[in-house]
Amino acid sequence: MHSLLEWSARNEWRQPPAETIEAHAAAEGVAAGSLLDPVRAWLDSDLLRERVLAPGAAARAEVPLLLAIEDATLRGSIDLLVEREGQPPLVVDYKTDRLDGVSPAERAANYEVQRTIYALAVAEARDAAAVEVAYVFLERPGEPVLALLDDEAMVHGRAELAATIGQIRAGEFPVAPTEQRDWDLCEGCPALGRLCSGPL
C-alpha cells in the first residue's frame, strides 16, 4: 500500500496503473481490489485535495527522518511531508491498521510517541515553530486525525522521549495497562506470554 501511494505521489497523484497494482497484490498474496480501493479513497480525499494539492504546496514522499535525543539517534522516514508558505509543515502518515469498529481518533492515540518524533524531527530540520501531523487510516482516509504541535508541546514531547529512552537503557519495560492492550499494540512483542498475557 505504501509503495503504491509513493508511486502516486511521484506521478502527480495519478492512480497507479493496473499492472502495477496487480504486481503488488500478487507479491503480497492479496486481491488487487484490496489495494486499489484504499488508494482511490485517498486520491479522492479532502485532505489531499485541500492541503496537499493546495496552490503553492510542495509535497515529498518518503522523506528521511533523523532526530537526536540526548545521546540517542532516531532514524526513519516520513510517508509524506507537505510544506506551504506561511503554514506549519504537514506530516502525513498512512496507517494500514484494521480499525475493527474503533474510530481513527481512538486508534491514533496508540501513535503519540511516533507523532512527537515526526514533529520534533521536522521542526528541527525546517526551523519550524509548529508542525502538523495527520494520521490517515487508509480504511477511512476521509477521517484524518490531525494534531498541531507547537513549541510548548514539542518541549514536553522531547522530555517524554528522553525519559522513555532512559527507561529502555535501564531495562525497564513496564507492561501496558490491561485496558490499553490490543493486538495492534501487542502483536510481535517479545514479552507476550512471558511477562505479559496480552489482550484479555
pLDDT tens for 101-139 read 899 999 999 899 999 999 999 999 999 999 999 999 999
Question: Residue 185: its pLDDT value, please?
Answer: 77
The residue-averaged pLDDT of 46-63 equals: 95
The residue-averaged pLDDT of 159-163 equals: 92
Q: Among 149, 135, 133, which Cα is nearest to 105's?
A: 135
Q: Is pLDDT of 191 > 80? A: no
Question: Residue 182: its pLDDT value, please?
Answer: 81
- pTM, full prediction: 0.83
Reported as a single tens digit per residue, the pLDDT across 162-177 is 998 888 788 777 777 8
pLDDT band (50, 70, 90) for residue 76? very high
The 3-state secondary structure of 3-70, one letter per residue: HHHHHHHHCCCCCCCHHHHHHHHHHHCCCHHHHHHHHHHHHCCHHHHHHHCCCCCEEEEEEEEEEEEC
Give the three-class secondary structure for 88: coil
